Amino acid sequence: MFVTFEGGEGVGKSTQIRLLAGALEAQGHAVRITREPGGSAGAEAVRHVILSGGAESHGVRMEALLFAAARSDHVETLIRPALDGGSMVLCDRFMDSSRVYQGITGNLPEPLIDGLERLAINGLRPDITIILDMPAAEGLERARARAFKAAELANAVPDRFEKEELETHEKRREAFLDIAARDPVRCRVVDASRSVEAIARDVLAAVEARISERQDAGVEA
Ligand SMILES: Nc1ncnc2c1ncn2[C@@H]1O[C@H](COP(=O)(O)OP(=O)(O)OP(=O)(O)O)[C@@H](O)[C@H]1O
Ligand SMILES: Cc1cn([C@H]2C[C@H](O)[C@@H](COP(=O)(O)O)O2)c(=O)[nH]c1=O
Ligand 1 atom closest to Cα of residue 7: 21
Sign of CA dihedral 93, 50, 48, 158: negative
The model's pTM: 0.96
* Residue 63 placed within a domain: yes
Distance 9 CA to ligand 1 centre (A): 8
* Residue 221 placed within a domain: no
* Residue 148 placed within a domain: yes
* Residue 12 placed within a domain: yes
Exposed/middle/buried for residue 138 (C-beta within 10 Å: 0-12, 13-18, 19+): middle
Q: Is the pLDDT of residue 155 over 60?
A: no
CATH of the domain at 189: 3.40.50.300
Specify the residue with its C-alpha closest to ligand 1, atom 15.
12
Work out the average pLDDT over 48-67. 94
- Nearest CA among 199, 219, 198 for reference residue 2: 219
Work out the average pLDDT over 147-176. 82
Helix (H) or strand (E) holding 5: strand 2-7
Binding site for ATP: which residues?
7-14
Q: Tell me, what's the pLDDT at 148? A: 77
Ligand having the closest approach to the CA of 50: 2
* Residue 174 placed within a domain: yes
Helix (H) or strand (E) holding 34: strand 31-35
Work out the average pLDDT over 36-41. 97
Ligand 1 atom closest to Cα of residue 196: 1
Q: Which domain holds residue 125?
A: 2-215
Q: For a substitution probing ligand 2, which of 93, 131, 176 has the most ligand atoms within 8 Å of its CB?
A: 93
Specify the residue with its C-alpha closest to ligand 1, atom 16.
12
Question: SS3 for 221?
Answer: coil
Q: For a substitution probing ligand 2, which of 61, 95, 161 has the most ligand atoms within 8 Å of its CB?
A: 161
Ligand 2 near 12 CB (within 6 A): no
If one counts the domains in the chain, the total is 1
How sure is the predictor about 115, in pLDDT bands with cuts at 50, 70 and 90?
A: very high
